[in-house]
Amino acid sequence: MRMQLIVIPIFWLLSLQVSSNEISSAFQEQSSVNVIVALKTRSPSHSHWRNLEQHIDVMQQKLIDDMGWININHLVRYKNAPLIAKSVAKPEYDRLRKSALVDTIYLDKFTLLQTPKVARQLPSHHSIDVNVKVKEVNAVAVIDSGIDFNHPYLKNKTVAGACFSASGHCPNGRNKQFGIAAAKPCTFNGCSHGTHVAGIAVGESALHQGVAPKSQLVSINAMSHNGFGTGFTYSDILQSLDWVLTHHKKYNISVVNMSLGGGRFYDNCDGDYPYTALINQLRDKNILTVIASGNEYLTDSIGAPACISSAVSVGSVNHNGEVSDFSNSYKRITIMAYGSKILSSVPGGKLEAMSGTSMASPQVAGAVALLKSIYPAATAEQLYQAILSGDDFLDSRNQVKTKKLNVKKSLVYLRQKFNRVPDKSRPIKEESSNCSTKVDGILIEKSNTDCGKTIRW
C-alpha cells in the first residue's frame, strides 16, 4: 500500500529581526533567559516526510543535536509548528543567533492577566434570543485561567481539559496536566476570569444562558504566577494552541476563545508573535480564534495576539449600543460585541457582572459555535463573513467603522448561503487542474497520493 505524503512547499516562517535588544537587556539582569526558537523549515528534499509532525520533529531534533542539548526535560517541543521553547544561558543564545537552523528568536515573555471591572449593580443578563435547531454539538475551547466545571451554569459542559503553567501551578502542582481535572481554575487573584468567560460562551440554567448553551467546553488553563500577579507566558499559550490543533477532531472544537493579551500595536502583528503559525493552521482547519482587543482605553491600537491578521479581534460596546470607554480599537478591528456589565458564572456557584473586552470576546466565540452547530459544514471564511453581516457600528472616538455582533443577521447570511437554489439557466463553468476542480467558483480538491496538502504558516 502506497503511503500518502503531505507535500510541503519551500517556505520560511515569517522572518523578522531578532528582538536582540529585549533579550540582551534580560541577560543583564539574569544569567539565563526563557526564549522561543523558530526554526527555518526550507529543505532541498522532503519526499521522505510522512506528515507535518514528522518534519517538525526532524527539524527540532537537528537543532537539539547541533546545540548538544542532552538534558531536555525543561525543553518544550511543539507538534504543529517548528518551534522550541527553552531557558538558555548567554553562550547558548549567541550560538542560536548564528545557527543556520534558526530563523527567529523570541523572548518568552510573561504577560499579566487583565482583571475585568466588577459591576456594582447587576443588570439583566444579555443573552442571544435565537430559537433554532442544533444539528451538531460542538465545543468551545477556552484558553484562560481554568473553569469551575461543577458550577450549576456549566455543569456537565466540560468534555476535556489541559493545563500548561510555566510556574508549575497546574492543579497537580506541575507545569503540565491533562484531563478534566486539569481544567480547574488557578488559585490566585483573578482566577475567576475563565469561569466567567466560559459562562458567557456556553452557560445554561433556568434563568440565564450563554450565547451557545448547547455547546460543550474544552478548558485549557494557561495561567502562572510570577510573584507579582497572575498571567501567562508565550510558551504556555503556544502549548495550549498546539494542544487544540492536535485534539480538535476528537472533541469537535469549533472555535477558540482567548480573552487575554498585552502590548500595543498600530497594525497587524503577524511577524512579532510566535502564535501566528498555529492560529493560521486553526483557521485552515475551519476553527476561528477569537481574541479580546484589550482594555487600555486606546483608540489607535490594540493588544496582541488580537492584532494577528487571521484572528478575530473583538472590542466592547455597552448596553446602550455605544463603545465601552475602556475598549481598545484601531483601523483593523474585526467586530464589536457586548462587554459591559455582563452577568455570568464565577467559582463557587455564584453569578457576577463584569466588564471588559474579555467579556465581549466570548460573545463572539459563542456566536461562532452556535452558527457552526446549525451549519456544521460552514467554513471558517463563511463563519467569518457571517459574523461580519451584523449591525453597522461607528466608534465615535476615532470614527472607525466596523460591525457589531448580531446573531440573527448572521443566521440569515448562512441560511442564504446554504439554501441557495442553483440557477439552471446559467451554464456551469468548470476549471480543472491535476489536483483540483473549480465548479462555479467553488474549489473542489482531489484526494489521492499524487495531490498533497499545503500548510500555511
55 is annotated as an active-site residue = no
125 is annotated as an active-site residue = no
Helices (H), 115-172: none
Partners of residue 302 on adjacent β-strands: 265
Which residue do the cell numbers 543567533 mark? Answer: 97
Kindly state the DSSP code that residue 181 receives in the 8-state scheme.
G
Residue 108 identity: D
Residue 378, C-alpha cell as written in the block: 460552514
Q: Of 193, 196, 208, 225, which one is the catalytic site residue?
A: 193
193 is annotated as an active-site residue = yes
Residue 370, C-alpha cell as written in the block: 452556535
Strands (E) across 54-150 are located at 76-77, 83-89, 102-107, 110-112, 117-118, 139-144
Residues 123, 121: Cα–Cα separation, whole Å: 6
Kindly state the DSSP code that residue 182 receives in the 8-state scheme.
G
Angle at CA of residue 368, ends 339 and 373, nearest 5°: 135
Q: Is 136 in contact with 195 (CB distance < 8 Å)? A: no
Residues 170, 191: Cα–Cα separation, whole Å: 12
All residues at 6 or more sequence positions from 125 whose CB lies less than 8 Å from its CB, including other chains: 207, 208, 209, 342, 343, 344
Helix, coil or strand: residue 52 = helix
Q: Of 108, 144, 148, 242, which one is the catalytic site residue?
A: 144
> Any long-range contacts for 99-103 (C-beta under 8 Å, 24+ apart)?
99/63, 99/66, 99/67, 100/40, 101/39, 101/40, 101/59, 101/62, 101/63, 101/66, 102/37, 102/38, 102/39, 102/40, 102/63, 103/12, 103/13, 103/15, 103/38, 103/39, 103/40, 103/41
Q: Of 224, 254, 324, 358, which one is the catalytic site residue?
A: 358
Q: Is 301 in contact with 327 (CB distance < 8 Å)? A: no
Kindly state the DSSP code that residue 165 receives in the 8-state scheme.
-
Residues 250, 78: Cα–Cα separation, whole Å: 19
Supply the residues annotated as catalytic: 144, 193, 358
